[in-house]
């Protein structure tokens, strides 16, 4: 049996990207019940992909009783609904068998991972201040995506002169803006740029010089996305809310590597429950961006541990 509930987590501060701002994270929690055992999973319905809390809830509630993890892959498309159910069923299996999910999935034991910390889109002055505040972190991810981003880039580098930096344009640039900014990204020591052009309007990436790695986010959802990325991207951002769960995320990771892509594992703004399965996918990834809980003012019970070693694997009390 499955249940689904809506939960809200307050953010530590306003979080802004090129598409808008928010002060709360709205998530759905799925629980799978069997023989007195409960597994749980979380998803973040995302308006960019036509999802709402209500539409995703309807998808989950429409599933047949006792759906298996294998049947789920065909019962729902890739997306938030399948993600929460898939992760809940993995957690249920771990609790039923007493074996951790990494073992059930045939993976190596997970280790802590250095994760990026995201600075949201703001004025150059505020972004400089935030960069200085977080300059001790091992990797900063900068949200951009406007025609006026040069001043923001300069300000962040002034605030954190030695920090490794990646940038995420969230589909907010044109090919012309990206071509103008690219030399400055290199000059300022930016290591990677994520989704500079809108998905479906990114063919120009195959024609212009890519002086630093370009990562597909909105352009890459699951394995079916890979043919459309050829020649345009160097890296793929795997998010469980896009792949539709841990099952497809692991398959996408392996398929992407086989085709020569580097791997980034990212997240929506969610709680530790959403990050826990992603930590398994992120083992060995070139870039890890699982900072969702660091952006929250409140979190789940038994939250993930973040320290100098990075984000640690979940306790059995939380997931897996």
Q: So which residues are the catalytic ones? A: 143, 239
Q: If you count them, how many residues does the chain have? A: 320
| The token pair that represents 248 in the structure block | 């497809």
Query: Which tokens hold the place of 114?
Result: 């250095």
- Decide if 128 contacts 159 (C-beta within 8 A): yes
Two structure tokens written together for 121? 């889109």
| CA distance linking residue 15 with residue 103, whole number of Å | 36
Q: Which long-range contacts (CB under 8 A, 24 or more apart) does 215-222 make?
A: 215/262, 215/264, 215/287, 217/168, 217/170, 217/266, 218/48, 218/170, 218/171, 219/195, 220/252, 221/78, 222/78, 222/248, 222/252
Structure tokens at 298: 């409140």
Cβ count near 36 (within 10 Å): 7
Beta strands in 214-304 (DSSP E): 214-216, 235-238, 262-265, 287-288
Antiparallel, parallel or unpaired: β 310-311 and 262-265: unpaired
DSSP label at residue 107: P
Find, among 29, 28, 34, the residue nearest to 69 by Cα.
34
Q: Tell me how far apart the alpha carbons of residues 42 and 48 are, in angstroms, rounded to a whole number.
A: 18
Q: Which residue spans within 233-281 are E strands per DSSP? A: 235-238, 262-265
CA distance 284 to 153: 28
């Amino acid at each position: 049996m499955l249940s689904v509930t809506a939960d809200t987590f307050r953010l530590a501060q306003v979080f802004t990207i090129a598409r808008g701002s928010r002060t709360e994270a709205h998530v759905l929690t799925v629980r799978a019940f069997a023989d007195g055992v409960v597994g749980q999973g979380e998803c973040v319905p995302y308006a960019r992909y036509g999802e709402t809390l209500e539409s995703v809830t309807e998808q989950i509630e429409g599933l047949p009783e006792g759906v298996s993890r294998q049947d789920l892959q065909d019962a729902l498309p890739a997306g938030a609904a399948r993600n929460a159910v898939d992760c809940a069923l993995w957690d249920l299996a771990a609790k039923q068998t007493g074996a951790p999910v990494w073992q059930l999935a045939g993976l190596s034991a997970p280790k802590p991972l250095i994760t990026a910390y995201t600075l949201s889109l703001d004025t150059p002055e505020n972004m400089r201040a935030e960069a200085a505040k977080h300059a001790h972190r091992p990797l900063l991810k900068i949200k951009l995506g406007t025609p006026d981003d040069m001043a923001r880039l300069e300000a962040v580098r002034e605030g954190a002169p030695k920090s490794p930096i990646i940038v995420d344009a969230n589909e907010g640039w044109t090919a012309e803006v990206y071509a103008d900014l690219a030399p400055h990204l290199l000059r300022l020591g930016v290591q990677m740029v994520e989704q500079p052009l809108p998905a479906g309007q990114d063919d120009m990436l195959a024609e212009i010089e890519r002086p630093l790695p370009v990562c597909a986010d909105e352009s890459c959802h699951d394995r079916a996305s890979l043919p459309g990325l050829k020649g345009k991207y160097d890296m793929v951002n795997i998010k469980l809310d896009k792949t539709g769960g841990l099952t497809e995320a692991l398959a996408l990771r392996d398929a992407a590597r086989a085709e020569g892509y580097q791997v980034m594992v990212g997240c929506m703004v969610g709680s530790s429950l959403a990050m826990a399965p992603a930590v398994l996918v992120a083992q060995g990834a070139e870039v890890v961006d699982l900072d969702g809980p660091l952006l929250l003012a409140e979190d789940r019970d038994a939250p993930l541990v973040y320290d100098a070693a990075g984000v640690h694997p979940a306790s059995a009390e939380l997931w897996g």
